[in-house]
Amino acid sequence: MKLSRKITYKNKQLIMSEFLRTGMGRKLLEQDIPKLTSVLERIANQMERSNKLEEKKFILEERIQKLTIKESTNKPPERPNNLLGL
């Protein structure tokens, strides 16, 4: 006769509740998960800050490019300083 190793939802709940009663389970729930959450929040904040800085950098580069184009189109053609036109 073959034993069935099928794990049902009810069995998973039982295993988790038993695990959370152990020292490792309590540490996971009380220390590790909150620490992980705070680290993920810090990463998200840094990514958001980085994205804002990149956006500002892009806008400034775009403005510089527009000003450069504007200056180059508004300049009168240079005229030679000597009589020969060189």
Question: What is the per-residue pLDDT across 19-68, written as a single tens digit (0 to 9) for each?
Answer: 889 999 999 999 999 999 999 999 999 999 999 999 999 999 999 999 98
- In angstroms, the CA 41 to CA 54 distance is 20
Structure tokens at 26: 């309590």
CA dihedral 63→65→67→71, nearest 10 degrees, is 180
- In angstroms, the CA 15 to CA 58 distance is 52
* CA distance between the termini of the chain: 104
The SS3 call for residue 6 is coil
Question: Residue 14 pLDDT > 90, yes or no?
Answer: no
Structure tokens at 9: 């939802």
